[in-house]
Amino acid sequence: MLKSVPFRQSTPRRGEVPPYTIVYFPTRGRCEAMRMLLADQGQSWKEEVVTKESWLQGPLKASCLYGQLPKFQDGDLTLYQSNAILRHLGRTFGLYGKDEREAALVDMVNDGVEDIRRHCSQLIYRSYEEGKAKYFQELPGHLKPFETLLIQNQEGQAFLVGDQISFADYNLLDLLLNHQVLAPGCLDSHPLLLAYVARLSARPKLKAYLASPEHVNRPVHGAQKI
C-alpha cells in the first residue's frame, strides 16, 4: 500500500485539517465523486493507494467490512460503501437538500446515478467490445430522467434538486465526465446535460481540482478501455 496526499485546499474545518482518508485503488472509480465534493467544499484529505498486488495478498481485503473498497475514514469513524460515504459527506456539509422533501429527492437522484454506474461497470469489465454499441444506443433513455429533473428545477439552470448543490450532483457530474472519456461526443445530443457539466465544472474550487494532475492523471477505471 502506497500513501500519498493528492490534493489540499486551504480552508480547514473547525480550524484544523480534516482527518479524512480515502483508501482505494489508483483510479477514479467509486471515489472520484467524493473527491470532487471534498475539493469543492474546500477540504483536504489523504489517500492510501492500494495496488492490485497488495489487494491480492489478502490481509487488507479480509479487514474490510464487506471485503471491498473504498474505505473512508473521518477521524475515528470508518465507513464502507461509496454511496453511504457520499450521504455522510452530504450531511456533514449541508449537501442533502434544505428539508426532508428535498433530501428524499436527492436520495432518489443518487439511486438513479447508481443504476447507470452499475450498467457502465458491467460494460467496462465484462463485455465492452460486444456491448458498447447497444449501451450507447440505450444511454439517452437512461439520461432522460436527469434531463427531466433539470427542466423541472428552474428550467435546467440550477441543480438537480433545489437551489443548492447536493452530493447527488457530484455523483452525476462524475458519471457524465466518465462517459465523455469513454465515448467523446456521447452527450452532444443532450445540450441540457452538457450545460450542466460545464456549469458545475466551472465552480472555482472544483475547476481547480479537475485541472489538477491528481485528477487528470488518474484513470477512470482499472480496465484499459479508459
pLDDT in tens, 50-98: 999 999 999 999 999 999 999 999 999 999 999 999 999 999 999 999 9
Q: Is the pLDDT of residue 17 over 70?
A: no
**Same structural domain for residues 70 and 158?**
no
Eight-class DSSP state of 162: T
What pLDDT score does 170 carry? 98
**61 & 105 share domain:** no
Same domain, residue pair 61 and 139: no
* pLDDT tens digits, one per residue of 115-148: 999 999 888 887 788 888 899 999 999 999 999 9
Indicate the number of domains in the chain. 2
Q: Which range of residues forms the domain containing residue 155? A: 100-203
Do 105 and 189 share a structural domain? yes
**Which one, of 38, 95, 13, lies nearest residue 215 by Cα?**
38
Q: What is the pLDDT of residues 140-184, one digit of tens each?
A: 999 999 999 999 999 889 999 999 999 999 999 999 999 999 899
Cis ω on the peptide bond leading into residue 140 (within 30° of 0)?
Answer: no
Lowest mean pLDDT of 3-12, 79-88, 199-208, name the range: 3-12
pTM of the prediction?
Answer: 0.91
Cell of 143: 439520461
Q: Are the CB atoms for 35 and 215 separated by under 8 Å?
A: yes
In a domain, 179, yes or no: yes
Whether residues 117 and 186 share a domain: the answer is yes
Instruction: Please state, in angstroms and rounded to a whole number, the distance separating the CA atoms of residues 28 and 168.
Output: 17
Give the CATH number for residue 69.
3.40.30.10
More confident residue, 188 or 6: 188
